[in-house]
Amino acid sequence: MVELEPYSETRPRPNAGTVVAYVLLAVGSVAMFFPFVWMLFSAFKPLQEIFRMNVLPHHWTLASFRQVLFNTAFPRWFLNSLVVAGISTVSVLFFCSLVGYTLTRLRFPGRDIIFLVILSTLMVPTEMLVIPWYVMSTQYHWVNTYWGLAFPGLIPAFGVFLMRQFFLTLPRDLFDAGRVDGVSEFGLFWRIGLPLVRPGLAALGIFNFVGNWNAFLWPLIIAKSASMRTVPVGVALFSGEASTQWNLIMAASAMAIVPVLLVFFIFQRQIIEGVALTGVKG
């Protein structure tokens, strides 16, 4: 993000408005974060305490976590989510940058049309694709497979667009020089282009991992067997079956959220820059 120094930062001392801003932001933060806090602490409560109003448990217990980990398929769902999010992230990073590179740094007939076609698929909502995808999946036996779970997100058009924007900022001379030095066409992309768009790759990769970890509609459709569910689908169906066992649902939710929150707090900057890039810079 380009720091253009917003006007308010140069003021020497905090005025009344700034104090009000701090207070309002703090109040808002409590409202934004309280559900997380409550969920986390409730996961440590015994069942009889779950509907009491105390935030901190009187008796701390790991029983809910133990039950979710050992008596449900949760560990398997966790593995499935990791595999699907992992596969798609590797694919997205490689293919979106390769397409982005090709569409900016190589000159060939049909280039603009191809870009327009890819861009236009952005307007088609997932809801419109899931029915034909499901029909195809039953036909080719993709139901209950990792391929079936992962294929919709392998080369998102948004990623192509984002990486194209990054490659556009690189000077063409760089690649011409590499070509003169005898670097192969793939080498120009892999050894010269990719290292220079690392910030874009970081934003895209993290954003995509989180998006895939949270994906719900398609995994709900394609994972028919309990062992192929991802975390959001597994726990949603689990909450449908165990609607009164709130302590288990809270423990499962807490474990479902921890990986994304962890990724988010470590890579906060990249994620937020990625979001900012989606719209405002266009």
Partner 1 sequence: MQPSSPDVRPREGDPSSGPGGRRRRRLSLSARETLWAYLFLLLPLAFYGFLRIYPAVQSFNLSLHRWHVDPAKRVFLGLTYYRELVADPKLHRALLNTLYYAAIIVPAQLVLGLGIAVMLNAVRRLRPIFRAIYFSPYVTPAAAVAWVWGWMYSVNFGLFNNAIVAWDNFVTHLGLPWIQVPTLAFLSDPRQALPAVAVVVVWQQLGFQVVIFLAGLQGIPRMFYDAASIDGANSLQRFRFITLPLLNPVMVFSVVISTIATLQLFDQVVNINFTDQGGPLNATLSIAVYMYQLAFARFQIGYASAVTVLLFVLILIVTLAQLRLLQRRVEY
Q: CA distances (Å), 213 to each of 80, 89, 90, 208, 280, in order? A: 10, 10, 14, 8, 25
Q: Which of residues 234-253 bind partner 1 (CB under 8 A)?
A: 235-237, 239-240, 243, 246, 249-250, 253
What is the DSSP code string of 91-126? HIIIIIHHHHHHHHH---TTHHHHHHHHHHGGGS-H
> What residues numbered 130-149 form the site for partner 1, per CB under 8 A?
130-136
Instruction: Candidates 71, 113, 195, 265: give the one binding partner 1 (CB under 8 A).
Output: 265
Q: Tokens 């079956």 belong to which residue? A: 241
> Total residues contacting partner 1 (rule CB under 8 A)?
101
Nearer to partner 1, 10 or 225 (CB): 10
Which residues neighbour 220 within 8 Å (Cβ) at sequence distance 6 or greater? 233, 236
Give the footprint of partner 1 on residues 156-215 (CB under 8 A). Answer: 157, 160, 185-186, 189, 210, 213-214
Does position 263 interact with partner 1 (CB under 8 A)? The reply is yes
Cβ 198 to partner 1 shortest distance, Å: 20
Per-residue binding letters, 48-87, with partner 1 (x by CB under 8 A): --xx-x----------------------------------
Does position 113 bind partner 1 by CB under 8 A? Answer: no
Instruction: Please identify, using beta-carbon distances, which residue of 9 and 171 lies nearer to partner 1.
Output: 9
Angstrom distances, CA of residue 95 to CA of 43, 167, 232, 279: 40, 14, 26, 22
Rounded-to-integer distance, Cα 242 and Cα 67, Å: 13
Interface pick for partner 1 out of 69, 155, 196, 226 (rule CB under 8 A): 155
For the chain, the helix, strand and coil percentages under 3-state DSSP, each to the nearest 5: 75, 0, 25
